[in-house]
Chain A
Amino acid sequence: MGSSPTSAPHIQHHVAGDHHDEHDHHDQHWLFKYVFSQDHKWIAKQFLISGIVWAFIGATLSTLFRIQLGWPDAQLTWLEPLLGRWVEGGKLNPEFYLALVTMHGTIMVFFVLTAGLSGTFSNFLIPLQIGARDMASGFMNMLSFWFFFLAGIIMFVSLFLETGPASAGWTIYPPLSALPQAIPGSGAGQTLWLVSMALFIVSQLLGGVNYITTIINLRTAGMSMAKLPLTIWSFFLTAILGLLSFPVLFSAALLLIFDRSFGTSFFLSDIYIGGEALNHVGGSPILFQHLFWFLGHPEVYIVIMPAMGIVSEVMATNARKPIFGYRAMIGSLIGISLLSFVVWAHHMFVTGMNPFLGSVFMFLTLIIAVPSAVKTFNWLATLWRGNIRFTAAMLFAIGFVSLFVSGGLTGIILGNAALDIQMHNTYFVVAHFHLVMGSSAFFGMFAGVYHWFPKMFGRMMDEKLGYVHFWLTILAAYLVFLPMHYVGIAGFPRRYYAYTAYETFNQFGDLNTFISIAAIMAFFAQFIFLFNFIYSIFRGRRATENPWNSNTLEWTTPVEPGHGNWPGAIPAVYRWPYDYSKPGAEQDFIPQHIPYSQTVSSNLPYEKEME
């Protein structure tokens, strides 16, 4: 993109033609403006609102199973109006319990933290921060949302099936997920799960291709890869990971569909169930796990990397300091991306996989801790000698680092094959990944919403409510997941409906009640956010163009950017996005579009020649 700012690329709109001026889009039909919109900002809002809806559904499911775990003896007849037949004589049906944990995992990992997080912020920020009028293909972008929407509808419908939704865990390991005889949820519920997920993958691929193409091709004049904000770097690498790994999940799903419906034996062998021996021979359930985790592991980085990008951006802006080690931050993102493809079998140390493979994957897994450590130290160094403004977004960014550290460190134990023998599939694992990818990614998402809300809706969210939301949420997150480690060290298996059958697990009843109370508290705290979000869309304080005094390009657009983002020419970029508190500068920030010639007093020696 060597062109001058005035000849910056204009986006071709396949349906609505080439228009990027404010007044043009008024003659658009409302259906294409608000529903089947091709505007990246609108699609981002669609993803965000769907993500929030799904997050509340997912959280409701978790509240239900936390009630079961916290009060295993309680009469749950009062839940009958909601759950109907799934409450049997005042007790939750154990199969429904498994359906709850399965759907909670599926919804949170895929619909909220993948689509809700990447979908929202990649869509919203990529064109705005790289200086483009829209995505490379607005049409594909629209399709991406509607495939996701369709996937969501199908998954939602599956919740109401008579035989229940998918219940084999979010990892849907066959043979359990392949055999309706084994669990009723593996009937129609699992079919809908697979169909929904296939559509979801299509949505991800359409989105991913678009994000990558846009970042490579549509950067404004001067926006070299080394001047991109870290958000964009993280979205870019996330999209690449998705593009390379989701098709593998698709293939696994496809083979599973064949096994379920067409009598093939990819994953099934030597099975006697429901009083009969099945004809499947020669398949391997472990093959499925390899395929699943080849996606599944990059998937956790697909979830966490956008949050890392958002946190880096929010933290630099509000510490009023350049992000420490910009290049190291990019390097560690690249390192994490590469390594994320060669660590998948650490989920499978005790599956009967060759122990030599276990050794190899243990080695590779513990290497991935290094780039993660580098990122953490760089965030800490960014705070050091900053001038920190605690906006709600900044609080969540700091909370992200805290949770990421707490959850990431226990990964060092789980990545060690010898220790994983004991810890595998216990609550230690549950605590680990809920901190490091669940809570952290949510915190990254909240940071993003609070930070970019003014640009999305032209109004500010209420800061005080944001503070209350933050403190309650981080407190609850720790109250839930720290004690959960104790339960895990004691060896409590996950996905257990109750622990009453075991002498080994007869302790910690009180701790489980405590965890449940904290989880319910966390759930209710989110209604503060929901209220703040909806209220502020309509009644929030009006925002200014650049309320956070931030450097990146999106803040040079009008308060509510119209179609095409900039009313006039797209600004050109002259500097990196982190010139905060530069010595000699008038203000404590210099936006990316300010040329060096206007900042003579603050230019560093090597920048002099660029004046």
Chain B
Amino acid sequence: MIALGILLALVLLLVVFGLLFRLQILTSIFSGSYARQIGLSNRVNAILMVVFMVVGMAAFAYSFVANFDKMNPPIASVHGLHTEKLFWTTMIIIGIVFVLTQVALFVYSYKYQYREGRRAFFYSHNNKIEVIWTVIPAIVMAGLVFGGWKEWSNIMGPAPKDAVEVEIMGKQFNFLVRYPGRDQKLGRINYRLIDATNEFGFDLNDQRGLDDFTASEVHVPKGHPVLLHIRSRDVLHAVYAPHFRVQMYAVPGMPTKFWFIPTKSTDEMRAQTGNPNFNYEIACNQICGRGHFAMKANIIVDEPDDYIAWYAQQKSFADQNPDILAAFKNKKTPVIEDAPAETTAAPAATEKAQASL
């Protein structure tokens, strides 16, 4: 019944619009404006151009200021602070260009609207001016490229030798986390060994993997470089941690990595934002299926001492799953072809890292 009512109202509305449209045509025929090339509407449109610009820019400025805090999640990494500066510098430059070009566009539209008897200025080109406005953007671009390139090279450069290493594996629809154990080396894994308990596909024939442990959350120490080893075991995912300005795809068959230095612990951030539920979150940022929108993991940034305490409590995967370990021992020869070994930092350096923590 309600649907019928809505339908009826819509039909009536359309009839009203139709009648208005016909009326508009008929009046314009009677008033003679139908036959005129250029009438009052030219002037109305010209005025609307300026109104649109002024009201639009005011609304834009207002909403931008009003939403500024919401659109700026707090930053908690060293490189994040640098890119943030670059971002807003670039924003200011393009903001200036935006205002200049839009004002020119709408003001010219208004100012040079049709006037009876006036003729446009026949002006086909001006090489000097064209060279100027080719060269200036080129110089500005060069500056921005240089700034971006410097940051990009730093961020993508090799991780410090003493970085804490964590492996994050994306799968539909959550992230698995693995840490190298005391030996600071991630053991070999193989996707053919994956099952419900061995979600990573640990190959426990590899001695380096015996002390590796998994975790439900990523723990990292504050103020210390963290190197994320990122992989996927099914489709593409992306490890996206907006507070750290970290993003890297998780690609099946091709391990990727990203390193960063967290600058604020989770507790500090909770105090800063006044939100007791605050958590650093990893969001999957590459379409991966039904649960894509809820595929997340938490990153807990601990004070270095807390991190060491947490680290010491963890039990290795092999210890927690003696039956899996036993299965490997029974079959001494590897059941599978050799998978590429994990890259790990030099042991001496990591020992030092551990000591420095």
Instruction: Point out residues on A near B: beta carbons under 8 Å.
Output: 94-95, 98, 168-169, 173, 175-176, 179, 182-183, 268-273, 277, 281-286, 319-328, 350-352, 355, 358-359, 362-363, 366-367, 369-370, 373-374, 376-381, 383-390, 395, 398, 401-402, 405-406, 409-410, 412-413, 416-419, 421-422, 424-426, 462-465, 467, 471, 474-475, 478, 482-483, 486-487, 489-491, 493, 495-505, 507-508, 511, 541, 578, 580-583, 588
Is the CB–CB distance between A581 and B121 below 8 Å?
Answer: yes
In chain B, residues 69-85, which have Cβ atoms closer than 8 Å to a Cβ of chain A?
70-73, 80, 83
A102: min CB distance to chain B, Å: 8
Q: Which residues of A contact B157 (CB under 8 A)?
A: 355
Is the CB–CB distance between B152 and A478 below 8 Å?
Answer: no
A14: min CB distance to chain B, Å: 42
Is the CB–CB distance between B287 and A390 below 8 Å?
Answer: no
Is the CB–CB distance between A376 and B101 below 8 Å?
Answer: yes
The 14 sampled A-B contact pairs (Cβ below 8 Å) are A168-B287, A273-B172, A352-B230, A355-B152, A383-B105, A383-B109, A388-B114, A390-B46, A398-B105, A409-B98, A419-B148, A422-B247, A474-B52, A581-B119
A278: min CB distance to chain B, Å: 9
Query: Is B86 among interface residues, defined by CB-CB distance under 8 A?
Result: yes
Q: Which residues of A contact B48 (CB under 8 A)?
A: 471
Is the CB–CB distance between B98 and A352 below 8 Å?
Answer: no
Query: Is B161 among interface residues, defined by CB-CB distance under 8 A?
Result: no
Q: Mark B292-319, 1 if CB is under 8 A from A, else 0.
A: 1110100000000000000000000000
Is the CB–CB distance between A271 and B252 below 8 Å?
Answer: yes
A511: min CB distance to chain B, Å: 7
Is the CB–CB distance between A416 and B121 below 8 Å?
Answer: no
Of the listed residues A286, A359, A387, the one surrounded by the most CB atoms of chain B closer than 10 A to its CB is: A387
Selected contact of B112 from candidates A384, A410, A463, CB within 8 Å: A384
Across the two chains, which residue of chain B brings its CB closest to A491?
A: B242
Selected contact of B67 from candidates A272, A352, A386, A511, CB within 8 Å: A511
Interface size of B as a range: 35 or more
A526: min CB distance to chain B, Å: 14
Query: Is B285 among interface residues, defined by CB-CB distance under 8 A?
Result: yes
Query: Is B279 among interface residues, defined by CB-CB distance under 8 A?
Result: yes
Contact (A272, B172) CB under 8 Å given A405-B98, A421-B83, A489-B71: no
Across the two chains, which residue of chain A brings its CB closest to B70?
A: A507
Complex Cα distance, B156 from A578, in Å, reads: 51
Is the CB–CB distance between B252 and A425 below 8 Å?
Answer: no
Across the two chains, which residue of chain A brings its CB closest to B63?
A: A483
Contact (A370, B138) CB under 8 Å given A385-B123, A504-B242: yes
Is the CB–CB distance between A380 and B149 below 8 Å?
Answer: no
Contact (A271, B122) CB under 8 Å given A173-B287, A389-B38, A398-B105: no
Q: Which residues of B contact A483 (CB under 8 A)?
A: 63, 67
Q: Mark B47-60, 1 if CB is under 8 A from A, else 0.
A: 01100100010001
A401: min CB distance to chain B, Å: 6
Q: Which residues of B contact A583 (CB under 8 A)?
A: 119, 122
Is the CB–CB distance between A176 and B145 below 8 Å?
Answer: no
A366: min CB distance to chain B, Å: 5
Selected contact of A95 from candidates B106, B279, B289, CB within 8 Å: B289
Of the listed residues A351, A426, A578, the one surrounded by the most CB atoms of chain B closer than 10 A to its CB is: A351
Return the 4 tightest CB-CB contacts between A and B, nearest first.
Answer: A269-B253, A352-B256, A491-B242, A355-B156
Is the CB–CB distance between B42 and A321 below 8 Å?
Answer: no
Contact (A366, B145) CB under 8 Å given A409-B98, A486-B70, A491-B242: yes
Contact (A425, B148) CB under 8 Å given A325-B130, A352-B254, A377-B133: no
Complex Cα distance, B42 from A268, in Å, reads: 59
Selected contact of A182 from candidates B98, B124, B172, B192, CB within 8 Å: B172
Is the CB–CB distance between B42 and A366 below 8 Å?
Answer: no
Query: Is B331 among interface residues, defined by CB-CB distance under 8 A?
Result: no
Query: Is B251 among interface residues, defined by CB-CB distance under 8 A?
Result: yes
Q: Mark B111-147, 1 if CB is under 8 A from A, else 0.
A: 0111100111111111001100110011001001101
Selected contact of B247 from candidates A268, A273, A421, CB within 8 Å: A421
Query: Is B205 among interface residues, defined by CB-CB distance under 8 A?
Result: no
B218: min CB distance to chain A, Å: 15
Complex Cα distance, B290 from A498, in Å, reads: 11
Q: Apart from A416-B90, A483-B67, what are 4 other A-B pairs with CB-CB below 8 Å?
A: A176-B287, A390-B46, A504-B242, A581-B119
Selected contact of B249 from candidates A350, A358, A501, CB within 8 Å: A350
